[in-house]
A = this chain, B = another copy of it.
Amino acid sequence: MSKNEAQAREELIDLAADFYDQFAGGEIPEMELPTRTKSNIVFDEDSNVWVYGDRTSKRSANSVSGARKLLKAVYTIEFLSDQLEEGRSSTLRELYYLSESWDNEEAQFNSQDESNQLVEDLEIVSGVTREDFHMRPEESGATLMGPLELREQTRRGEREIHCQEDVGEGGYQIPNNPDMIDFLDHDIDFVLAVETGGMRDRLVENGFDEEYNCLVVHLKGQPARATRRITKRLHDELDLPVVVFTDGDPWSYRIYGSVAYGSIKSAHLSEYLATPEADFVGIQPKDIVEYDLPSDPLGDSDINALESELEDPRFQTDYWEEQIELQLDIGKKSEQQALASRGLDFVTDTYLPERLSDMGVL
């Protein structure tokens, strides 16, 4: 076991030990958690990420259903602890099915929601992330392409990979747990996180990563945890600027928001996953006007989403208020690939160099 794994295991066993001590002391065992409802999520102005508020809830064995919850927690702790000791891993879905093999039927999960929530509870109480429990997501992270040499610790030994020279055009596939990666060497000036596959391929085809010493991270729509985690590590450990390039619509601004500020669903992980210093490149509503981009009219759901972003603390800056109000005003949205209306090289020869200079990245 690595240090991380040993520590994760210890945190889990401490939880079980707490229940034991409560029993031994004649108390009814319980576990205290921040209340995980929307009303108990606050935007932390200092760290610029979403975190849980002060309200807490208790899982107590003072009812049959509460006792069953703690029983399931203890079985899950034992499973995770064994898994870490054996150097194995599993998915959330496997955990749910695996509970059918447990000897105590009362400990088996009734639904996958139940097991998913328990793992999130354990993350919050132990302060250990799911990745350090060796729980894998169902869907993997995306790809990297750029002047980065890394070492990945795989179960088949170490692999040293240069993310331009040792990979095909598809790039380097981010593993489920990007904390298994060490950054060895790099020539990166900035990290460019890109929403769509079509634009990612355009940048790679045009050699943008080579010309500008940029690491292209494909977000693949709403980014997986692994993608957000490696983006944060690139920023924090290599001291690199991170910029996010998406379509110009409210759903894409949320993609930027989840890279930069975290999401409500994983507020307990904001400090592990979010990169508040990440900047937004575009497509800005201003760009739709200035570059006269092909656009589609905003639909009702777009308008509602923009209006709710105006109420969202993540977007309460002069910049975003101006852009969102402009967008509501012009009633249009544009895709990244709409830049192709000026030719296939416009994005790499003109748009990105102009925007990145304006932003002080180039």
Contacts and interface: CB of A to CB of B under 8 A. Distances in A.
A202 B95 CA distance: 12
A138 B221 CA distance: 12
A98 B94 CA distance: 46
B169 A90 contact: no
Interface in A312-341: 335, 337-341
Contact of A341 (B98, B171, B337, B340): B98
A136 B100 contact: no
A128 to B, nearest CB: 20
- Copies of this chain, complex-wide, total 2
Contacts of A136: 198, 201
Contacts of A341: 97-98, 100-101
Q: Chain A interface secondary structure, helix, strand, loop or mixed?
A: mixed
Contact of A167 (B139, B159, B196, B340): B159
A91 B198 contact: yes
Contacts of A95: 340
A97 B170 contact: no
B166 A161 contact: yes
A40 interface: no
Given A94-B340, A101-B343, A205-B88, A152 B175 contact: no
B166 A156 contact: no
A197 B94 CA distance: 12
Given A89-B201, A89-B205, A143-B173, 4 more contacts: A97-B341, A140-B197, A140-B201, A170-B176
Interface of A: 88-91, 93-95, 97-98, 100-101, 136-141, 143, 152, 154-156, 159, 161, 164-176, 180-181, 196-198, 201-202, 205, 207, 210, 294, 335, 337-344
